[in-house]
Structure 1
């Protein structure tokens, strides 16, 4: 009895075949050089399809994938370890792999749509704001997450109020001969350089690669940008030039010199005055002696004592000595007190 039930169960599974569980259709996005898995399996993991295959509309008409030279060495199946698992793994993706793939059994099929993204843009959900100046140049940023990814095509558009105008790689309108990509060294750098800016260039720009895009808003202002070179020139003082503070301190040194000159002039004036005084002190006794001589009718000698003439009471020689002593004392006192 049990054997009969088992045989009936086997016959039922063979008759029913493999009912595919995947939704129809599905979309998958892969990146160039990466891998992608196309899911396909029987809803009952105990069943095994009598026949199944993978095919594609990549080149137009439906062609088999498993025997296509285009996929040689890049395909992997899993039905050897799990008969109900019909999934297909494709490695080392290429741009030409883009298209629709079909998993088919003897009863039904499921389709998967493959998109190959050779460039995923950075900050694609954010509108970046850039400022430029009339007559100058500006760069509108747009780069792939992987700078080595080279998009199949890149397009820049100017988004006007009532129209959308392509400005790269088809250059049209006022942007003709004024736009170009910044660098072709890294395939993933798609930034756009706009030269000789005008007020009409202000607005929204869109960078697009395949099904990916990002927006940049450009503002154009009047005036010129202060370059870093100019800033360095204004902020840097050559080592050979003295600081401003040292230059302003030079007047005190000049004032000190002036004071020194004033002291020397004062010293010279005082010397002249004392010289005149010394001359007078030497001459006055001689004048007094002459007066005495005339008063007495003769010379005031050492042994002559005049009566009635007080000017002749002192000896002429003693008078001269006394005056010289006074003059010498005054000169000595002046020079001892003068610091110079």
Structure 2
């Protein structure tokens, strides 16, 4: 079935949703499973478009993703407005937002496969505290997970220092950049990607990057990042002990957000957890470089899980 996207209100916040294999409000095709992806930060759905389209192509299972609350703003045609209450956009509120989304739209008779990338992995662990969601969940795939002490990582320390000093300045320059014509902004962003990564990124990533450089979205992204530093501290042993068999964790070899020392910490805390170190080509932002390769890996894992 075709790709669809739209806007729904979840936990008071207009939320962009993209699906493959059936819209969230339509009767789902025959089968017993749904895959739901929880994005990282920035939590814009189009970053994951190629990855999730490829995953759906491999498996034929309905695949859904919803944005992080406040990271995508509804177009005027929807007549929806984002509330200004900052309590709706914290890390804890993002977990509440994802739980509300699943409770609103996941059919009662469906098995759930959760994918969490970066911050999304932490949010998946928070979702497993919900008994109803945990009961539906067959397996969780945590990609480059930020499960502990994010403020102590190389990238966490760097970003905190930059935002503490220059967040207002960065947002001001983003405002200036937002005044450029769309064609000009897309050209400059495309040049930056090509120079920094030595290849062109897909249209979904281009679209998402153009949106996140707008001042309001950028402020939401930065504010959530700073809140993550305070929220994500020690490993959640309650969830690890209760749901370890449901977890499959993937680390990149070089990752400033989820370094391999944190993988060792995770394995020390829970020796029987299923952990894989990905190949050299995979980076934290795999959606920019290897979305289809990551989809291939997960598709094989999900196929094996479904025949158990």
What is the TM-score when the length of structure 2 is the normalising length?
0.18
- Higher share in strand: 1
- Higher share in helix: 2
What is the TM-score when the length of structure 1 is the normalising length?
0.17
Identify the structure with bigger relative contact order (alpha carbons < 8 Å, sequence gap 6+).
2
